[in-house]
């Protein structure tokens, strides 16, 4: 059984830009009954991911690599639009891997940092470029960004 335990934060500054970067595009196939199924293109690889209902910062997650041609076809023909377009930066801070997503397309201007944890009570020291925590704000989930893109949000 796969388990994802993740915290999300808004990002300040540009210090995180030194990390490894991957171009990513993803789309959703199923978004109901507390389950989501998505297809992702990450550089030259394709993935199929199934996620269960979020309970706090945890949820079930299963991910499988699939042929890139299949991933592209599924994304083009079956996924809900708009697709999520982003650059994902991998940045290590004090031995912990952070993923920083810089969004484009309908979500241009949004930058979110994520850290996956071993347990819900794991403590992590936040990098200086990490801002407000948004783990409990579902607007920042990628699925929510498909349904209600950042470009449509009113200025807060």
Which residues are part of the catalytic machinery? 28
For 79, list phi and psi in degrees, rounded to 5. Answer: -80, 150
CA distances (Å), 136 to each of 17, 55, 92, 139, in order?
25, 10, 24, 9
Q: Give CA–CA dist 141/112, Å, rounded.
A: 10
| Distance between start and end Cα atoms, the chain | 39
* Angle, alpha carbons 138-141-137 (nearest 5°): 25
Q: Give CA–CA dist 129/117, Å, rounded.
A: 19
List alpha helices for 11-95, DSSP H. 68-77
């Amino acid at each position: 059984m796969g388990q994802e335990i993740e915290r999300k934060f808004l990002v300040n500054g540009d210090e995180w830009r030194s990390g490894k970067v991957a171009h990513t595009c993803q789309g959703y196939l199923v978004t109901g009954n507390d389950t989501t199924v998505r297809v992702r293109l990450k550089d030259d690889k394709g993935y199929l991911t199934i996620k269960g209902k979020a309970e706090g910062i945890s949820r079930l997650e299963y991910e499988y690599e699939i042929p890139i041609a299949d991933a592209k076809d599924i994304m083009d023909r079956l996924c809900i639009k708009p697709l999520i377009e982003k650059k994902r930066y991998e940045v290590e801070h004090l031995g912990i891997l952070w993923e920083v997503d810089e969004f484009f397309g309908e979500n241009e201007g949004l930058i979110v940092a994520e850290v996956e944890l071993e347990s819900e009570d794991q403590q992590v020291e936040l990098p200086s470029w990490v801002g407000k925590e948004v783990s409990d704000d579902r607007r920042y989930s990628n699925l929510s960004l498909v349904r209600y893109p950042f470009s449509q949000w009113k200025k807060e």
